[in-house]
Structures are given as structure tokens and as C-alpha cells.
Structure 1
Amino acid sequence: MNPLCQCTADISGIKASEAKLSHLVHHDALTNLPNRLLFSARLDHAITHRNTNEKIAMLHMDLDRFKHINDSLGHTYGDELLIQVTARLTQTLNPTDIVARVGGDEFAILVEELDDNDDASRVADNIVAAMEQPFTLNGHDYFTTASIGIAIAPDHGEDIDVLTKNADIALNQAKDLGRNNYALFQPELSESVEEWIKLEPQLRKAISEKQFRLFYQPQMDRSGNNIIGAEALIRWQHPERGLISPIHFLGIAEEIGLMKKIGNWVLEEAFQQLAIWRQAGLRSFKLAINLASDQITKQNLPDKISSLLNAYKIPPDMIELEILETFLLEHQHESSKTFTELRALGINLALDDFGTGYSSLSYLKKLPINKIKIDQSLVRDIPEDANDEAITKAVILLGHTLDLKVCAEGVETPEQRAFLEIEGCDQLQGYLFSKPIDPADFSNLLRQHNRLVALEA
């Protein structure tokens, strides 16, 4: 062979190999879509060369229930599903849009030359609608919907890292909204994530350094004149930021798996304080303690409560454990044995945040609940809102029909108090009577109501 021809053939072979290698490096092997590396380069180029009056959208899409299909049918069918998703995305999007597979069941989409944010929302809406249609695997129809987060340049960032991060944050928001949905990035979401990142290591430290405090809010009888109990409410005494409300840290604690530890600390602290008040003469009183889901599902809660009752010599009827209605709806069957055993100990059980729209009345008959607490969102607009009045009346009637005590939370005005007393609500709780206060102040409140008849030990 002519040496020149041989050289040319070698160069051609090298170029072909380089092209093949480049394609492998920049594309997903299963779907042949651009991978994360190539998508990032395209996104960076689009941001850099964006016209002043145009917008660019990055959409981060995650398949809902993909893991369930993949695990139940096997990876072969999981791969086939991803290939079909790729085809459907390609058919739904414009030819100029770029779609990439950036993870197992994650896709990223780049849409350029948008006039406004609504254009990006319409693209996401079309994708969500397309993914709602069934996928055929092995002759059978299966469903996997999509959750999508949207970030817009320049509104939500003008560099690749910021835009990608904000699209991820928006995706999590879409999942929180119930999946099969999309969410446009909102700046406050970023602030929330940054707050989370700052607080997580400090929250872990708070447990070991004993920075938590329990406050107590009185529960009154239906007249609003007599203290019949209290709810124990956690606060975080941050060394630099002061007292932090649980709304700012309990969600983080739950997400990172700290709620069992924090919940058990609350139980120990509450029992100890109740023992002190009992030594000071407190009787005919119930202390309500909120339960975290991990306390119910990840430990033997009846044994824990029994141990605390014995250690602090607390009569069981002085303890009331509060369970969120949303938890009960999700874990009714697996937790029913635990609740039955707690009632066998003599412990009272209350259903918190009742009446917020997710109620299923069957568990009120099946589970050994003693009390329901009307959510403060229903009490807040009494007497101005006739619908809230009607719902509150119905909840009180329902509770009494089932022989349950009814407590109204969030009572803040004399008008609310009067309405609830007329309707026969058994217990009232809210700022009208007292905000949550520390143990020393609550002890003084008990003395003012002649509930402590001896000096505290």
C-alpha cells in the first residue's frame, strides 16, 4: 500500500475513534441523549450568548414512581421505560430545545429565546400532560408522571451553577406540591435552603449541648376560667440567634433523622417537669405532649412511656399524647397496635390539627382516641367566616357523638371564646389565655389559679 494512503487511512481511523470517544463522553449510552457534561456546556453557551431581551429556561425533570416500576419489573423494563420517556420528550419539545439525561430518572431541558416566564410554564405543562399518558411495557400499560422545577435566566441566575441549583430547588417544591406538577423557582425557596444548610450542623450540636427548652401553654375548660391542662411545646435556645420557634427547625430535624432523639428528649423533660408540679400539689391535670412519627414507628413507644411513668411516678391519666391527623392517615394500620397498647397503659390520645380537609372518619371509630383538637385555621376567622363556624360546629357535634373531648386551638378573641362556649367545646387553648411560657412562669400561672398547693421541691 502506498505509504501516503496508509497515513491517510490511519489519520481517518484516529479521527473516527476520537469522534466516537467524544460522543461516548458527552452522551448517555442508553438513550443517546446529551449527558450532564454536554448539557452543562450547552447551557453555559446559551447563557453567555443570550440576547438582552430574551430569556432562557432550564427545566429539571424527575420521574415519579420510576423506582417502583424499576424494582418491581426489573432493570430491563426500567431501561425500556426511560427510552420511551426520551421519545415522548423529543416529540413534545421543539426541535431547537435540548433535552439531556442527567441521572438515573432525571432529565434536564434547555429552552431558549423565551419572551417571558409564562412560555417556560407552558413548556412544563405540556411535558406534565404528555407524561400522564400510559407507557406500554411487555404488553401492559404503566404510569409514571413527572415533577419539574424551572429556573429562568436572567431572573433566577446568570451562571450555570446558580441556575442549576435553583432549578433543583424548584423541583423539590414541585414534589412537595404532590408530584405530577411543576414549580417555577421563587427566591424565598433559595433562602429556605440556605437557612437549612446553616442550621443543620447547629441543630445536631443543639442536642448534645442541651440547647432545647420546653414551654407550656395552658388548656382551659369551656368557660375559659380554669386551667385543666397544658401542651408542652419545644423551643430552641440558640446561643447566637436566641429563641427559635419549632416551625424553623423541626422540618429539618425530621428530614435528617433527628426527630426520634428530639422527641424522646421532649418526653423525658415533660415527665420530669410534671413530677415537680405533682410534688407541689398539682392534681386533675393533663399534660399534652406531641409525638413525632419516628417515635411511633421506629421504637417501642409503649415500653418507653411505661418506663417514664414508673421512673417519675406519674399517673397515666395525667399524660396525653398528641398525634397529627396527617400521620394517622398514612400510618393507621401499622400504628394501631401501638395506640391500643398506650391506651391499655391508661394514657390519653388526642388527634391534633383535626378538620383541615383530609379527615377520614373511619379511624375515629377504629382507634382508641380520647380527644380531637380543632385546627386553629378554623378558629381564626370565627365569627366573621360562616363556613368556619359551620365546620367548627360540626366537628364539636361529631366529637361529642363519638364520646370524644373537643379542644379548640388558636383562641385569641373574646368573640371566639363566647362562640366556642355556646357550642359546648370542652377545652380552649390560645393566646387569649396565655402564650407558651417557660416552666417558672407556668408555675406562677398555676399558683394564680390555685392549682399548686405546696411549694415546689
Structure 2
Amino acid sequence: MPEQVEVFPMTQQMLDQLSDAVLIIDQYGGIVAGNDTADEILGVSSAVGEHIDQYLKCISLEESNQLTYITHVHKQMIEVTILHASEGDPYYFVKLVLVSKQMQEIREKLDTFATEHFKGTILYVKKNGDIIDADAYSTHMFLYSKQELTSLSIHNLFPQVFEKRQLTKKQVFHELQGVTKEGGLLFVELLQYDLNDTIGVCFLKDVTEQVTNKNRIEYLAYYDELTDLPNRYYFEYVLTEAIENNEEQQFIVVYMIDLDYFKEVNDILGYAVGDELIRLCALQLKKFLHVDTFIARMSGDKFVIMQIGMRNKRAVIEFAKKLIQAFKKPITINGYDIYTTVTIGISLFPHHGTTAEDLIKHANSAMYESKNNQRNSYKIFESAISEKFQSTVTLESELRQAFKEDQLELHYQPQVDFKTNEIIGMEALLRWNHPEKGYIAPSEYIGIAEKTGFIIEIGEWVLYQACKQNKKWQDQGYKPITISVNLSAIQFHQKKFLQKVEHILDQTGLSPTYLELEITETMAMTNEKTVLHTLRELQNIGIPVSIDDFGTGYSSLKLLSLFPITKLKIDKIFMDQSHEENRMIVKSIIQLCHLLNLKVVAEGVETEEQFAFLKAEQCDQLQGYYFSKALPSEEVEQLLLKKNNKAN
């Protein structure tokens, strides 16, 4: 234990003459001297020989040459100032000041305001920014201990704002960026006031979550979350700015880019794979970014690029070709090699429009025109394209309206047995009876319905109406026949396709045996495992499946023998008997079907010669104008009566 008189004889006399409470401690925190005023505050007869930590929560003495902080001793608020005696000296002066009763009451009110009303925390700071006291919540907010906080300055917590400047009488910050001990960022609402000439108070409320949410909302207003690319609205803004500031009248080019077969990827492999495909395609497009290029995601499977300063149309075309070439290689996702090419529509400023709206619209029109003619290609806008595109948009709108207003109806074309000429089945065919244009050919609107996805809704309606009508004929006493319904690829590859078919059968009461579903060769050859699974499930339900338009696709004998199908339909293009090659193809298909124990149906039978040929070749079922055109349900009933198709 150090001897006060021996070590500090003169110093002790000086301490005793001071009115302030002062201690002297060594570098280890041992109290080596002190006056009566200090002992009185600490509540002891003599603190000499004890350790300072026994009375005060003191930080490491090596952290600062001078330190001020607030603590409590015997429920009294004490302001502690620690001062290094001199450089190289192992001793420190510790000054203790009792905070006045009035100031303590003010502190208590401030603490209450901070926690209960302001819903935040509080720091007490000196004019130079040094922190002298902090509550428990502030230590949680900044991840420092209280001792660590009181060794810091407000400048350390908010370096961007308070960097080395004196605090003013009053400051308010609504979204002040701060730094935690670990270097993390946080945002606070900060109110700073003076308590007296030397000390100020800072109220802090953590608003990090609110700021983060606000920033996210602002981000989502201008960016696409999946690809981190600008969105349509941001693109329109940038394009408008480019047009308005284009004083040199440079070429401004808009490339509308559409991913080919994206809907099929979504329908067959699922939305998660579709999203990943979009993200990877965006990364591929970002490789084309440079100072005069702006890339955005428009919607769904569409991207758009703006270029400024292209020299001529040749340069524009070369860039479009590079974009197409970049998507030649497959993209691998979850073990699937996905070949997704791109189709591009191009518009130029000022040739094809002087506003962002016109340039985007015309690039979009050119893209659809290119897609209709040949995917994996590009097209520069022409005025005729706009007229055609507008016609397509109008037809789509009218089709949706027709669906609502019951303008769609089903006609039924008989399928007859080649031996008896008896009607054994009907193919349900969609007809659109437009109130002004009359009947519109399916070829004009089916493609539009498939591209927009509206074919799913239409397809379900067709399936329901066909099953309902067939059950009605059975209930009216007609001999049971099979009703065949064509499926679109999108409809067939839906995840809940099987459940929907079963639900329709339950609704209508039709036995699965009397419903036949037709898929095309192309559909059958796409994603063979999934198709095989679906076909087997349909077989388990009891629904027969046929391959439609056989001979026009890419079927293999292996798959035909593997798939649980019951029938092939020979496409009507082979019914032209003037070509010997067609006759040989039809013969081969019939023989192949019989070898595989499959029924065969010939479509497009229109002449006596065709009928005789097919009958001689023992084609199981025949369909075409030679027997009957497709008829509305009322006329079908008359035909069934005429053919004596009433059940005995």
C-alpha cells in the first residue's frame, strides 16, 4: 500500500487546500493521494490505498490523456474528470464534482423524455463533442460498452456531419447516418440542445428500418428487383431526357428485346427457373453496357436498350446481330440446358418518332412483327408494321370481349367408322361469331390467344362445353360417342392441368372414356419426361389421348411406342392423292399405327377417291367434308338422327 506522506508530501498539502474533490491515482488505478472532500463524496474516511474501480467505473487509463464522464456514487450523480499529470508521468489527477440537485432533476426528466416520449436514447456531450455519459440503449444502438462510448466523441459516431467542429446551441437531423463499432451503418433522428455553457444533450431515435424501407420503395419505383436493372418508368424518363437534350440531333436507337419461348419455360419448368433465366439474361445484356448505352427491363420477358450516337443504320444492325449472337448458347439452370433466343424490334429517333412513347411503341411493334415472321431475328420499324400491330391489339381486345359476351361457340365435326360409316366420335372446334365481321377464322386469333396466355381460359371453356354437350347427347338417348378436344401447349403443360380436367369431368358427369384429348407432335416431343408423366396420369384416369397432325412434326418411333396414346391423326395435307408420295406416306402411317396397336384417323377427307383409298387401306376413322362440315350442336342432333345414332 503506497504511503501518502512519503510519496506526495507537498502534493498532499496542495490537495488539502483545494475546495474541489481531487484524487491522485497511479497507472494501475491505485489511489495514492486524495483530499477530505473526495473522501466525503466517496463515503470513506480515507480512500488512499484502495483501487479506483472500487468507487468509480473507470475506463482504461491508457485510452486518453484527459477524460470526462458521468457516473453515480451512493445514488449521487458525479461528473468525473481524469487528467494525465504529464507525459511520461505514471500518475493521474481525478476530479470529482457533485452534479447539483437541480441538474440531477433535469437529467432525470431528460432521460424520461428520451425513453418514454422520444422513444430513443440520450447522450451527454461537451461543447467539443466529447461524450461524457450515455444510457444503456445507446450502447445497444452503437454496439459500444458505456466505457467505450464515454471515451469517444460524437464525431466518431457521426463523422460526416460533426467532423471536427463545435456543437451549436440547437441542431436537428431527421435521417443522420451513423457508424457502429463494427463499421455498420445506421440512421437516427437527432435533436441536440445545450444544457449549460459546457454540456449539451443529444436525443437519438433509431430510424434505420424506416429509412431502409423508404430507400427500398424509392429503389423499386425506378429499378427491377429481380435483375437490378432500371425499370420501364426509369427508361422512359432517361429516353425523354436524351431526346430533349439531343442538341446535335444524333441517332437515338431503341432496341426492344423479347426472350423467345419464355412462356414455355415458365409453364414447363416453373416460375423459379423462369426468374433465374430472366436474371441470367439480364447479366448477359449488361455486358453491352457502355457510356452511351442504357439498359432496362420493360416487363416479363422484355428488355429494352437505348443507344445514343450510332453512326448509321449499318451500325445499328451490327449491334442487333451481336445481341442475337450473345444468346446462341444454352443457359444451364438446375441441370436444364435452356435455349432461349431473342427477337428484336428497332426504332430510330427522329425517323420513327420524336417522343419516348412513340419510339418505345414502334420498337415494340417491330419486335412483334419480327416474332410473327421468324423468331431469333430483328426488324427495323416501318409504318406498315404499326398498322398491323394495331390490328392485332384490336383483335385481342375484341376476342376478350367476345369471350365475356358469349360470342364464342363450339361446332362439331363427325368422325365415322370406315367399315360402317357410323358416327363414332366428334371433334370440338372453336368458332367466333363476330357481331359485325361474322365468323372469324381460328387461324386469325388462336395465335394471339396463345401469345397472350388467354388460350388457357379459352381452352378450359372449350373443354367444359364439349364435355357438357356430349353428356347432354347421352342423356337425350343418343348412342355414346367420343368427343375430342384439341389442347394448346400452354394448357397441356400447366401444373394443375390434370386436376382441372378431372374437375370438369366431375362437373359435367361425363365418363372419361368418352373424352379424347388431342396433342400435337411438337407438344409430345417437348420435355419428354413431363409429357410422359402427364400422359400416364391421363391413362390412369381413363382418358384416351391422340397425336394430332401426325406427319408434320418430328416424332420418333421410340417415343410413339413409349407414350400411352391410343390414336394418330393423319394431317390433311397428305390427302392430296395427286402426289404418289402422299399416298405412300398415308399407307406407311396406317401400317405403322396398326403395328403399334394404335387407331388411325384421316382428316380432310373430301372426295370419293380419298374415301375409297382410305377404306382400302383400312384407315380406322375418317373425318372431313365428304361426310360433314363442322356443325353447331342443334344440327349435329339432326345428323345423328339421320344416321340412326339413337341408342336402342
Q: Normalization by structure 2: what TM-score?
A: 0.50
1:328 aligns with 2:524: yes
- Show the 5 A alignment for 1:145-160: 146-150=342-346
- Which of 357, 373, 383 lines up with 2:553 in the alignment? 357
Q: Which deviates the most, 351-360 or 238-247?
A: 238-247
1:248 aligns with 2:412: no
Distance 1:107 1:39 in 2: 10
Q: CA deviation at 1:392?
A: 3.1
**Which segments of 5 or more consecutive residues in structure 2 lack a partner in the other structure?**
1-227, 263-271, 332-337
1:107 aligns with 2:305: yes
Contact residue 519 and residue 548 of structure 2 kept, 8 A: yes
- Which of 353, 375, 378 lines up with 1:182 in the alignment? 378
- Which of 555, 578, 586 lines up with 1:392 in the alignment? 586
- Pick closer, same or farther for the CA change 1:258–1:69 going to 2, 3 Å: closer
- Which of 244, 257, 264 lines up with 1:62 in the alignment? 257
Q: CA deviation at 1:262?
A: 2.7
Contact residue 256 and residue 364 of structure 2 kept, 8 A: no
- Show the 5 A alignment for 1:44-443: 60=255, 62=257, 71=276, 81-86=284-289, 101=295, 103=297, 105-108=303-306, 124-125=320-321, 128-129=324-325, 146-150=342-346, 164-175=360-371, 179-183=375-379, 190-222=386-418, 225-283=421-479, 285-293=481-489, 295-298=491-494, 300-306=496-502, 309=505, 312-379=508-575, 382-443=576-637
- Pick closer, same or farther for the CA change 1:224–1:389 going to 2, 3 Å: farther
Q: CA deviation at 1:194?
A: 2.2
Deviations 1:317-341 (A, max 9, x none): 3221112332232244234333323
- Pick closer, same or farther for the CA change 1:447–1:247 going to 2, 3 Å: same
Larger Rg: 2
- Pick closer, same or farther for the CA change 1:68–1:217 going to 2, 3 Å: closer
Q: Which residue of 2 aligns with 1:13?
A: none
Contact residue 252 and residue 306 of structure 2 kept, 8 A: no
SS at match of 2:552: coil
Contact residue 256 and residue 363 of structure 2 kept, 8 A: no
Q: CA deviation at 1:429?
A: 1.6
Distance 1:187 1:325 in 2: 37
Distance 1:388 1:369 in 2: 24
Q: Higher strand proportion, which one? A: 2
Contact residue 258 and residue 367 of structure 2 kept, 8 A: no
SS at match of 1:392: helix
Q: CA deviation at 1:288?
A: 0.9
- Pick closer, same or farther for the CA change 1:130–1:71 going to 2, 3 Å: closer
Deviations 1:161-184 (A, max 9, x none): 556433322323444566432245
Q: Which deviates the most, 409-418 or 62-71?
A: 62-71
SS at match of 2:548: strand
Distance 1:295 1:430 in 2: 26
**Which segments of 5 or more consecutive residues in structure 1 lack a partner in the other structure?**
1-28, 51-55, 91-97, 136-141
Equivalent residue pairs, number? 397
Letter in 2 for 1:60: Y
Q: CA deviation at 1:289?
A: 1.7
- Pick closer, same or farther for the CA change 1:187–1:223 going to 2, 3 Å: farther
Q: CA deviation at 1:441?
A: 1.1
Q: CA deviation at 1:371?
A: 0.6
- Pick closer, same or farther for the CA change 1:186–1:344 going to 2, 3 Å: farther
* Same amino acid, percent of matched pairs: 34
Distance 1:133 1:390 in 2: 39
Distance 1:146 1:308 in 2: 38
Contact residue 256 and residue 360 of structure 2 kept, 8 A: no
Contact residue 69 and residue 78 of structure 1 kept, 8 A: no
Q: Which residue of 2 aligns with 1:23?
A: none
Q: CA deviation at 1:216?
A: 0.5
Q: CA deviation at 1:99?
A: 5.9
Distance 2:596 2:605 in 1: 24
Q: CA deviation at 1:404?
A: 0.9
- Pick closer, same or farther for the CA change 1:44–1:240 going to 2, 3 Å: farther
Q: CA deviation at 1:438?
A: 0.5
Contact residue 414 and residue 628 of structure 2 kept, 8 A: yes
Contact residue 229 and residue 296 of structure 2 kept, 8 A: no
SS at match of 1:352: strand
Contact residue 521 and residue 553 of structure 2 kept, 8 A: no
Contact residue 57 and residue 112 of structure 1 kept, 8 A: no
Q: Which residue of 2 aligns with 1:9?
A: none
Deviations 1:414-445 (A, max 9, x none): 34334433333222222232221111111111
- Pick closer, same or farther for the CA change 1:386–1:170 going to 2, 3 Å: farther
Distance 1:265 1:221 in 2: 28
Distance 2:595 2:342 in 1: 44
Q: CA deviation at 1:232?
A: 0.9
Contact residue 464 and residue 508 of structure 2 kept, 8 A: no
Q: Which residue of 1 aligns with 2:214?
A: none
- Pick closer, same or farther for the CA change 1:60–1:68 going to 2, 3 Å: farther
Q: Which residue of 2 aligns with 1:7?
A: none
- Pick closer, same or farther for the CA change 1:163–1:230 going to 2, 3 Å: same
Contact residue 290 and residue 323 of structure 1 kept, 8 A: yes
SS at match of 1:430: coil
Deviations 1:108-128 (A, max 9, x none): 4586766xxx99767755764
Q: Which deviates the most, 177-186 or 438-447?
A: 177-186
RMSD: 4.7
Q: Normalization by structure 1: what TM-score?
A: 0.68
SS at match of 2:412: strand
Contact residue 101 and residue 108 of structure 1 kept, 8 A: yes
Distance 1:396 1:269 in 2: 32
SS at match of 1:249: helix
SS at match of 1:445: helix
